[in-house]
Structure 1
Amino acid sequence: MSVLIAIPARYASTRYPGKPLVPLTGANGIAMTLIERSWRAACSVSGVDKVVVATDDDRIREVSEGFGAEVVMTSEDCQNGTERCAETHANLAADYDIVVNLQGDAPLTPHWFVEDLIAGLRAAPEAGVATPVLRCDGDALNSLLNDRKHGRVGGTTAVFAADHSAMYFSKEVVPFTAQTYGGGDATPVFHHVGVYAYRPDALAAYPTWPAGPLEQLEGLEQLRFMENGRKVLCVEVEAKGRQFWELNNPQDVPKLEEMMAAMGLD
């Protein structure tokens, strides 16, 4: 099955304008833009036929082409990354069996997260879309709770059924737990990893649906699938000692750089 990875990137982020071009310094002291680090993460995934950056902004296009990425220009009307991926796939000459949306704010996404995601979707023909979830340890859960305590929108959490079909995604920390957890303790909270794998029919249908009330309230694009009766498969992935966090706010830059230094990531 052929696989395309598209990295949707827009300059006009509400919370963090210009985020794809923010420099992140690795363990070797060399700074690279967020979009380049995300592209490098995508290129490390095995079994992928093509990787492209999908953007509507010439600044992002110029920087991306400068480090060797293939760029697909998309409309300014795309409301989110899934719509941008749908337009990208429609604009390419080839049809792919699976389209992966590796969002441009998650440069610490390990290659096995995406490989396991693709394998999970392949093994679930009834699912049109799949997304990874990572069980939080105490440190990750406390980071999520700390963001909410200080009024910051941080990571997204997911709850799912016994068959791993998603029940809900939220920018609040769900499910509620009153228990206190130590740094390395396993918790009942799952961090949603901002990567998606779509079958082409589900991806093509997505832009034809209006944004529903839950998507608008949470600001989470994947809820549109659920609000239209499409199954979203949650694929549990393992950290294997890797720290994971997305760049959601300016305050996340030093956090990501500290993580890269601790893990020796260039």
Structure 2
Amino acid sequence: MREAVIVIPARYASTRYPAKPLAILRGATGMERSLLERSYRAGLRAAEETPGVTGVYVATDDDRIAAEAERIGAPVIMTDPECPNGTARVAQAVQRGGLDQPIVVNLQGDAPLTPPHFVTALIAAMREDPARQVATPVLRCDREALDNFLADRKAGRVGATTVVRDALGNAIYFSKEVIPFTGSLKRHDPIPVFHHVGLYAYTPEALALYASLPTGTLEVIEGLEQLRFLEHGHKIAAIEVSAPGAAFWELNNPSDVPLIEGYLKRMGVE
């Protein structure tokens, strides 16, 4: 069995939400935990439920985040402030931390609602096809999620990411816009929009490749790091997952806090 490791990249200087990893989220019983703690706990749950996951690490360049990670018992790997995105930070953490697992999972630090089975499905997809270099989960939107996406865009907020796939399940494109266009969609039609879940799995070779590739134009325009792979002709397997009875939403803007707290309450997460 190919072993895996989970790395949570976390930075303080977020453009849309400075100090985001330290934002406080209240759970079902009013328990206050930082976003970083909730993301780390999500990583631990995934590690417990997925055979062959050997550890969960926080990768950061900020002493305040490192202090919070140490408070919650998370091992920390310090990285450079110049890392432009989470993938680059994970790549550097793998190198600096001496991580030698053949599968590296990037659990985004703003996705505390990530169900463990998303991680399990992603690692399974990497294990079943050794040719895969990068994989990421996608979740078909329900009506509530689609309405939330469209409300964000109508209000001028840059929110969640959507993705379109080819017939083989590989990503064609990722966007902060809602794609494909749904203006002619009737309320009873199947929803063709897939939410890109903030989670990746790479081989160490793919991470090294990423660090060597020049920044792409679309990557800059969209602000989506994964587009660098697509722009340079490398595939990303978009693995469809489901979340029956659960909800998934990232913390992208301060306005997302009450939404995520509502989901935590609904799901009974302390």
Relative to the length of structure 2, the TM-score reads 0.96
1:93 Cα deviation after fit: 2.6
In 1, the alpha carbon distance for the partners of 2:204 and 2:210 equals 10
1:186 Cα deviation after fit: 4.2
In 2, the alpha carbon distance for the partners of 1:194 and 1:205 equals 20
Residue 205 of structure 1 corresponds to 209
Instruction: Tell me how many residue pairs correspond in the alignment.
Output: 264
1:159 Cα deviation after fit: 0.4
Residue 152 of structure 1 corresponds to 157
In 2, the alpha carbon distance for the partners of 1:171 and 1:120 equals 25
Q: Deviations over 1:17-38 (max 9, x none)?
A: 0000000000011100000000
- Select 1:222's aligned residue among 207, 213, 226: 226
In 2, the alpha carbon distance for the partners of 1:37 and 1:31 equals 10
Partner SS for 2:109? coil
- Match of 2:26, as an amino acid? T
- Match of 2:248, as an amino acid? F
Residue 13 of structure 1 corresponds to 14
1:125 Cα deviation after fit: 2.4
In 1, the alpha carbon distance for the partners of 2:10 and 2:44 equals 16
- Select 1:101's aligned residue among 92, 106, 111: 106
- Match of 1:181, as an amino acid? R
Partner SS for 2:192? strand
- Match of 2:181, as an amino acid? F
Q: Deviations over 1:212-261 (max 9, x none)?
A: 11101100000001111111000000112101100000000000001111
- Match of 1:179, as an amino acid? L
Partner SS for 1:12? coil
- Match of 1:6, as an amino acid? V
- Select 1:166's aligned residue among 165, 171, 177: 171
Matches within 5 A, 1:74-85: 74-85=79-90
Q: Deviations over 1:102-152 (max 9, x none)?
A: 010000000001110111122222221000000001110010011000000
Contact 1:155 1:171 in 2 (8 A): yes
Residue 135 of structure 1 corresponds to 140
Instruction: Report the more deviating stretch, 200-209 or 13-22.
Output: 200-209
- Match of 2:255, as an amino acid? Q
Unaligned runs of 5+ in 2: none
- Match of 2:133, as an amino acid? G
In 2, the alpha carbon distance for the partners of 1:72 and 1:181 equals 47
Matches within 5 A, 1:104-119: 104-119=109-124
Residue 37 of structure 1 corresponds to 38
In 1, the alpha carbon distance for the partners of 2:30 and 2:186 equals 36
The answer to whether structure 1 residue 234 and structure 2 residue 238 are counterparts is yes
1:91 Cα deviation after fit: 1.0
Residue 259 of structure 1 corresponds to 263
Partner SS for 2:139? strand
- Pick closer, same or farther for the CA change 1:262–1:186 going to 2, 3 Å: farther
- Percent of counterpart pairs with the same letter? 56
1:206 Cα deviation after fit: 0.6
Residue 64 of structure 1 corresponds to 69
Partner SS for 1:201? helix
- Pick closer, same or farther for the CA change 1:94–1:220 going to 2, 3 Å: closer
Q: Deviations over 1:77-108 (max 9, x none)?
A: 10000000000001123411100000100000
Contact 1:9 1:104 in 2 (8 A): yes
Unaligned runs of 5+ in 1: none
- Match of 1:259, as an amino acid? Y
Which structure 1 residue ranges, 4+ long, deviate > 6 Å from structure 2? none
CA RMSD of aligned residues (A): 1.0
- Match of 2:30, as an amino acid? G
- Select 2:197's aligned residue among 171, 193, 196: 193
